[in-house]
Amino acid sequence: MAITETVAPATNTAELAQLFKALGDETRLNLLLKIAGAQCVDGACICDLTPDTNLAQSTVSHHMKLLVDAGLLNRSQKGKWAYFSLTPAGTHLLMALNLGPVNSSNSCCTD
């Protein structure tokens, strides 16, 4: 199955380029896969994602913003914590690429 059949069609090449740029970074791809494997109802909390990257929280937040802007993730705020979940396009893309989620912790942040 072609990617274009499962991911909402981009209206222009700029949107496609943004999608590929988001996926072209190993850290962002790893984050996307970890979020796909999140066990929490709200998605994956940024506080659980940051330690595995060995990057500063601000750098991880930048990567997350690029994934949200590309339409692959949704972001929600619960108190002081940011939670991320796959959009339908993100889910379809992972399925089209035959990529499974990375096992992640079952911890969920609480306020």
pLDDT tens by residue, 87-109: 998 888 888 888 866 554 455 56
Taken in order 74, 75, 78, 82, the sign of the CA dihedral is positive
- CA angle, 89 as apex, 84 and 92 as ends, to 5°? 110
Domain contains 10: no
Q: Which domain holds residue 52?
A: 27-96
Of 21-25, 52-56, 70-74, 90-94, give the range with the top mean pLDDT. 70-74
Pairing type for strands 81-86 and 44-45 reads antiparallel
Domain contains 1: no
CATH of the domain at 83: 1.10.10.10
Domain contains 9: no
Between 65 and 106, the more confident residue is: 65
Calculate mean pLDDT across residues 47-75: 92
Rounded distance, CA 24 to CA 77, Å?
A: 26
Domain contains 64: yes
pLDDT at position 2, please?
Answer: 42
pLDDT tens by residue, 16-42: 788 888 889 999 999 999 999 888 888
Domain count, the chain: 1
